[in-house]
Structure formats: structure tokens, C-alpha cells
Amino acid sequence: MTLPLSRTVSHIVAVEKDIDLVSSLQKKLSGSNISNVTLVNHDILSFDFTGVRPRPPDKIQIIGNLPYNISSPVLEKLIKHRRLLARAILMFQLEVANRLTASPCTKAYGAMTLLVQYHAKSTRLLKVSRSAFYPVPKVDSMIVELDFEHPYPAPGVHGDHFRNVVRGAFAHRRKTIINSMKGFLPFWTHDVLINGMEASGIDPKRRAETLHMDEFLRLASALTIDK
């Protein structure tokens, strides 16, 4: 993707862990007289985004085909550095893409869904069949856009606190929400949780997968007050 992208943008920082691929791409760039690509031999999981930030108010735009085994840590890294990012367009395993864009009361809906959609608007762009690759993998893929400039409106709810509420709620997916959250944090006693759920209008016998984003936000706000 680097070569065609270089013809449509002013500058690319291409991060690649494999030194052989870096060498191969460098030869292709030199042979095509492309000079607006900076090649960096580095692991994206430890790469410092602050070193490549455009001049404000511009932000970084990310595009890439991820190794599927690092999808979750890459998402966590993007969320952590979201204030530097405008958007990310990434290809995921179809199962992961379904989680990022899932709706309540579906099998794919879970903690990852809420944590990503809280920080970025998630849009499915294109399904990619496994037959598009050689050798043919065992799974289909999906390209997803994460728009970090349009997060879910959540006034007054701190991101780290929201994360704890969501992870606690889905810690034991098959349990009721109160039993899943009980003891997840030291101050989440039965009474604290009951009071928070009553204040939020949430039946403690429901399961986390039935709650929509606004209900999680109300619960996060109520538990902040109780704490």
C-alpha cells in the first residue's frame, strides 16, 4: 500500500518490524523515485507516535493491514494515543471487526465493542474474502474505519473509570451484571453496586450484553458518585 499511498499524501511514516521487508520496500521506493516516505524499522506496539505528529491542528492518520495476533494491543495503543489521531483505517479478522461494530444483545457485543466505540466512531468499510489472499487464510477480513475525532458524547465520565465499569460488567459474561462486577474493584461492594444500578435505572439481574452505551455511561456516573 505504501507506493500508491505516497502518490496521494504529502508524507508517510511506514513502520515495519521485519528488516527484510524494510530493505525490499526501500529498493522499490528508490526505484520509483519516491522521496516522501520515511521507513522506520520498528515494532508498531512500541513505536512513539509523538515523534511523528504533524504540526497542530493536523493529526496522524493511520492505515494498515495488521498482523491479526496483535489486533487487541494495537487497538489499546490507538486508544491511549487518541488525542494525536484523526482516524485509523485498518483491516481486521472478520470476527474482530464484528466486535468493533456490534450492537447490544448480539454475540459479538462485548467490552471491546464499548471501549472502542466510546473513543471512536466505528464504521465497516469493506469485507475482504479469504480468497483475495495467497496462500488462502482460514478467515475472512473486514476493513474498519475508526474516527477518533467523533467519539461517543460522554460528558463527565472519565475514560479509565468507564473502562473499569465495562470490564467488570463483562468479566463473567454469563453472570448477571451485579455478580460479574462484584469485587472487580475493592470498593464495589454489593450495596454500592445495587445503589448505582438503582440510580441508573438498571435491573441488576440483567446481563452486560443487554446494556447499551448510554446505560453503561449512567452506571459509570452513578458509581463514581457512590465511590
Residue 198 sits in a domain whose CATH number is: 1.10.8.100
Q: Which domain holds residue 192?
A: 159-226
Among the candidates 127, 152, 177, a domain finishes at: 152
| pLDDT interval class at 57 (50, 70, 90) | confident
- Cα separation of 183 and 202, whole Å? 19
- CATH number, domain of 75, equals 3.40.50.150
Residue 225: the pLDDT is 57
Mind listing the pLDDT tens digit for each residue in 96-151? 999 999 999 999 999 999 999 999 999 999 999 999 988 998 999 999 999 999 99
Task: With respect to residue 62, please indicate whether it lies within any of the assigned structural domains.
Answer: yes
144 and 91 in a single domain? The answer is: yes
Count how many domains the chain has.
3
Higher pLDDT, 145 or 160: 145
The answer to whether residues 96 and 66 belong to one domain is yes
Tell me, yes or no, whether 80 and 126 share the same domain.
Answer: yes
CA distance linking residue 114 with residue 199, whole number of Å: 21
Check whether residue 189 and residue 111 sit in a common domain.
no
**Domain co-membership, 16 together with 105:** no
**If you average pLDDT over residues 158-182, what whole number do you get?**
93
Q: Is the peptide bond before 135 cis (omega within 30 degrees of 0)?
A: yes
Residues pairing with 122 in the sheet:
146
Are 91 and 140 in a shared domain?
Answer: yes
Mean pLDDT of 164-185: 94
Claim to verify: residue 7 and residue 28 sit in the same structural domain: yes
Same domain, 139 and 106: yes
Is residue 48 assigned to a domain?
A: no
Whether 227 has a pLDDT exceeding 70, the answer reads no
Angle 140-96-106 from CA coordinates, rounded to 5° = 105
Strands 141-147 and 121-128: antiparallel
User: For position 226, what pLDDT does the model report?
Assistant: 47
